[in-house]
Amino acid sequence: MSQNLARAKALLELKFYLHSTIFGFLLLGLAMAYLQWLGIPGTLNKSVADVATLLITLSMALSGLGYFFNFADRKVIYRKYLGMVGFAFALWHLLLSWSALLNLFKVETWSAGRMWPILTGFIALVVFAVMALISNQFSIRLLGSKLWRAILRFGYIGLLLVVGHVFLLKSARWLTWWQEGMQSPPALSLIVAVVAVLTLVLRLLLWWSLSRRRGR
């Protein structure tokens, strides 16, 4: 009986990972199509980065969405799987960016200002790596549920760092788009950044609501 139960759980996990992976690649196709429609070069790496952020953002948003909106209750189970697939996309983005990152460390191209986007992105990746490493039952038993949940909440700091990373890289283009009268659709990076900020706001609203309920 225990073997059958373990097999059923493994198959269920596989299904959730499969669904999340398919969803991720559907987002990737849409992101690449959107960037090509805007005429932006280098669509693959940019799309991978944006999809990584969207998947991790959605993973973090599901708790608040499930709390405030009944329709999202059945999707909360996908938090872990969307986050793990999003982390895989983030690693893919790192690999695609590796040669460009190495060039930044050459003496003739060195600039302290260029390091801030790298630093914020790297720290965010470390935070998400820790979250990925402890996203299992063994870590819950080892750390205890209270400490485990506290560590996972650092993911919101990671998301804030991602917003900073994107802002440092893309804000000049966003400003130009604004100053020129928004004659084209917004950059995908801007859309992704807004979604991430709204997710952070949603988390604050969830914290405020839970605090009020505990205070009654």
Q: State how far the Cα of 127 lies from the Cα of 63, in Å rounded to an integer.
A: 19
CATH of the domain at 200: 1.20.120
Distance CA 142, CA 148 (A): 9
Q: Which residues contact 159 (CB under 8 A, 6 or more apart)?
A: 56, 57, 60, 124, 196, 199, 200
Give residue 176's domain range. Answer: 2-215
pLDDT in tens, 93-114: 999 988 777 666 665 455 556 7
> 134 with 148: CB under 8 angstroms?
yes
Q: Are 189 and 57 in contact, with CB atoms under 8 Å apart?
A: no
pLDDT of 71 reads 81
136-194: per-residue pLDDT in tens? 888 889 989 899 989 999 999 999 999 999 999 999 999 999 999 988 999 999 999 99
Domain count, the chain: 1
Q: Which amino acid is at 52?
A: A
Number of Cβ atoms within 10 Å of the Cβ of 108: 5
